[in-house]
Structure 1
Amino acid sequence: MRLTRKCCALCTISILVIFFKTKDLTRTEHQQSELGDGETSPTRLMVNSSNKVNRKDVRPIFKHSVEGWKSNLSLVIKIRKDILRFLDAERDISVVKSSLKPGDIIHYVLDRRRTLNISRNLHSLLPEVSPMKNKRFNACAVVGNSGILLGSGCGKEIDSHEFVIRYWLTNKVYIKRPSTGLLMYTLATRFCDEIHLYGFWPFPKDANGTPVKYHYYDNLKYRYFSNAGPHRMPLEFKTLKSLHDRGALKLTTGKCGQP
């Protein structure tokens, strides 16, 4: 079905953003394994069962700061153009009247057993054109689900953005795919000149060793480095940090109002 193919294209381009727009990504986990049997990987220290993390052993990936961050508009435009080769979020993410008709059945991409019938009433509520058509925002916030949000004091700063993208439902479909947050970033590149990320932290402890919940709103446990999980969260975070360092996005992982 056309809608399903578009959603699959969305996942594909998200992966392309990961591997085309950053450097030195494929060595992330390989470098961890090369430390040898006698040396514990600092990133593994973030997920082990101990109650303490030695700050001096934490990799620079966790020493993250927004101080001095500047937007790199030329890189933002380049990423947007590359994504437009595969996906036009303005056109493709919106369900409009012309894309469906009453009686159509939509199969969910992540759970093919679940379907949605397009009734006449539902079809009548669909817009004629995408609500994102010809929209452009100077600054957008993409808000993830990490417990790093708790106590961050970022609510007012998030609300100050022209456009805010949220996704707060618990993921119950366990297949390998890019995280929802990464998909939302991919969409935002279409209509946002600056993208500011909050709530992206795929580790159970912060850089100070303080426990961090996987989701801020529940007690779900997650094995961040497990190959059995649906996402490759640490690799995605390294990607986002690389994009932050190059000015393509702003990644906030600490308390707002502090570097």
Structure 2
Amino acid sequence: RSELASCCDAVHNFIASQNNSPLGSNMSYEVDSKKTILITEDIFKMLPVSSPLSVYPFKNCAVVGNGGILKNSSCGAEIDSSDFVFRCNLPPTTGNISKDVGNKTNLVTVNPSIIAQNTKYVNAYTTPFDFNEDEFCFSITSFSSLMLETVNAFEEETGSTLVPFSRTEFVSSLKRHILTLFLVISNSLFAYWLILLYGFWPFSKSTEKIPISHHYYDNQLPKPGFHAMPKEYNQILQLHGKGILKLQFGKCESD
């Protein structure tokens, strides 16, 4: 934790805020760091005054991936009992699936490509995802205009807080482009005593050799080459083995 804290300061830099992104300053893009975007008054008003993580430390947090391993896991109650819950890419959490994945969410990230694929994004997702009391975080790439339009649409439609950027300095300080979930895990290492990982399973079969879908809500596979999943998962396993975090491999104990 001290090694990560000395290089990255994720608690304050993971999410852009008015405190770390002053009016009139320039912010670099995550993927193309040579390009910048000016923090105008309109953008500045979209940012929270400070990071929602700055009220740390909490006793524990759950980092919830979207892996098919969560299907029939009965992990929902355990996830919802965590002090803080991270999710990625606006997964469905309502209905029958909530018994496996829970529905509590404190912060959820959004990949801009999801929005680019569906221009009716708000209407498509307000039903399956509970937006109440959630905070959203975009990691800005080449979808600037679309993302800024979506910020306004989301907040008008749902009343939730949506943050259009993550701080590039935090991402670049990790030395490489990595999976969104691993970014969230790295971030949570600074703020929480116990980190619990759910739904992070990059294989097509469970530990019992039962075939599982890629996501718990669909079986759409990622494009090859962008995420180095096996390498990253090996790093997660090492952290699990050292007791730095707890990785859920299968069913949770139910009351």
Contact 2:12–2:20 (8 Å) recurs in 1: no
Number of aligned residues: 173
- Rounded to whole Å, the distance in 1 between the matches of 2:112 and 2:252 is 27
Q: Aligned Cα RMSD in Å? A: 2.9
| Equivalent residue for 1:129, pick from 50, 54, 79 | 50
Give the % identical residues. Answer: 36
**What amino acid sits opposite 2:77 in the alignment?**
K
Cross-structure match for 2:242: 246
- Rounded to whole Å, the distance in 2 between the matches of 1:123 and 1:221 is 36
Contact 2:11–2:190 (8 Å) recurs in 1: yes
The ranges of structure 1 where at least 4 consecutive aligned residues each deviate by more than 6 angstroms after the TM superposition are: 111-117
How big is each residue's C-alpha offset from its partner over 1:144-194, in whole Å with a ceiling of 9 and x where there is no partner? 121111221111110100011111256859xx8321111111000110000
- Rounded to whole Å, the distance in 2 between the matches of 1:104 and 1:92 is 15
- Is 1:234 equivalent to 2:230 in the alignment? yes
- Rounded to whole Å, the distance in 1 between the matches of 2:70 and 2:29 is 29
Contact 1:178–1:231 (8 Å) recurs in 2: yes
- Is 1:202 equivalent to 2:210 in the alignment? no
Gaps of 5+ in 1: 1-79
TM-score, normalised by the number of residues in structure 2: 0.58
Contact 1:177–1:230 (8 Å) recurs in 2: no
Gaps of 5+ in 2: 90-109, 114-140, 142-175
How big is each residue's C-alpha offset from its partner over 1:228-249, in whole Å with a ceiling of 9 and x where there is no partner? 5222222322222222222111
**What amino acid sits opposite 1:145 in the alignment?**
N
TM-score, normalised by the number of residues in structure 1: 0.57
- Rounded to whole Å, the distance in 2 between the matches of 1:93 and 1:84 is 12
- Rounded to whole Å, the distance in 1 between the matches of 2:6 and 2:36 is 29
| Equivalent residue for 1:160, pick from 75, 81, 94 | 81
How big is each residue's C-alpha offset from its partner over 1:30-74, in whole Å with a ceiling of 9 and x where there is no partner? xxxxxxxxxxxxxxxxxxxxxxxxxxxxxxxxxxxxxxxxxxxxx
- Rounded to whole Å, the distance in 2 between the matches of 1:203 and 1:256 is 19
Do the aligned partners of residues 229 and 130 (structure 1) sit closer, same or farther apart at CA in structure 2, a change above 3 Å counting? same
How far the C-alpha of 1:121 sits from its partner, in A, is: 3.8
The answer to which structure has the higher strand fraction is: 2
Please tell me whether Structure 1 or Structure 2 has the larger radius of gyration of its CA atoms. Answer: 1
Contact 2:69–2:212 (8 Å) recurs in 1: yes
How big is each residue's C-alpha offset from its partner over 1:54-97, in whole Å with a ceiling of 9 and x where there is no partner? xxxxxxxxxxxxxxxxxxxxxxxxxx101012111122123222
Contact 1:147–1:217 (8 Å) recurs in 2: yes
